[in-house]
Amino acid sequence: MQYFTYIWLDKNRKMYYIGMHEGYIDDNYISSSRWFNGEYNFRPSDFTKKILKLFNTRTEALQEEARLLSMINEHEFGKKYYNIKTGRKKGTPASNKGKPMSEEQRKKLSLAKLGKPSVRKGIPNKHKADCLENKEQSANPRSITV
């Protein structure tokens, strides 16, 4: 596994995309940006990729990506760069992670999800299958003769 920062150049539009990847240099990874990936897929010959730096750890690579993005002027996001924002400091957890939701938040979330298909639709619930199997076994115990 390798960690590295990279920059893409769109030769046609004179725009850039800066990112970090955890994988291999030759694994055909493009980026995490839907906008940039769409542009690349439409006209791949207009783009060149340069590996900026290799790292030993993910943390180092994330810090370097954050440093590079912090050097971009705010008004250049989305105009000169396909990156649309710097985001929160890389490596920091979500601000609400581990905090319990209030009853009001639970109701709002429940209403927002009402009538929408599950994000796990089509993915088998392994735990449920195990529970059903255990119920069947306890309902039909095998007699053991000694």
Q: How many domains does the chain have?
A: 1
Of 82, 64, 66, 84, whose CA–CA distance to 74 is shortest?
84
Q: How far apart are CA 122 and CA 129, in angstroms?
A: 14
Half-sphere exposure for 113 (CA within 13 Å, toward CB): 10
Question: What radius of gyration, in Å, describes the C-alpha atoms of the chain?
Answer: 24
pLDDT tens series, the chain, 146 aa: 899 999 999 999 999 999 999 999 989 999 999 999 999 999 999 999 999 999 999 999 999 999 999 999 999 999 999 998 775 555 555 566 677 888 998 898 888 888 887 777 777 766 665 666 666 666 665 555 55
- Decide if 34 is inside a domain: yes
| Backbone torsions φ then ψ of 124, nearest 5 degrees | -65, 140
- Asked whether residue 20 is domain-assigned, the answer is yes
Q: What is the pTM of this model?
A: 0.60
Instruction: List phi, psi (to 5°) of 72.
Output: -85, 130
Q: Establish if 19 belongs to a structural domain.
A: yes
Residue 14 maps to a domain: yes
Tell me if 143 is assigned to some domain: no
120 within a domain of the structure (yes/no): no
Q: Cα separation of 61 and 6, whole Å?
A: 10
pLDDT reported for residue 79: 93
> Which range of residues forms the domain containing residue 54?
2-76
Task: Confirm whether 117 is domain-assigned.
Answer: no
For residue 24, is it within any domain? yes
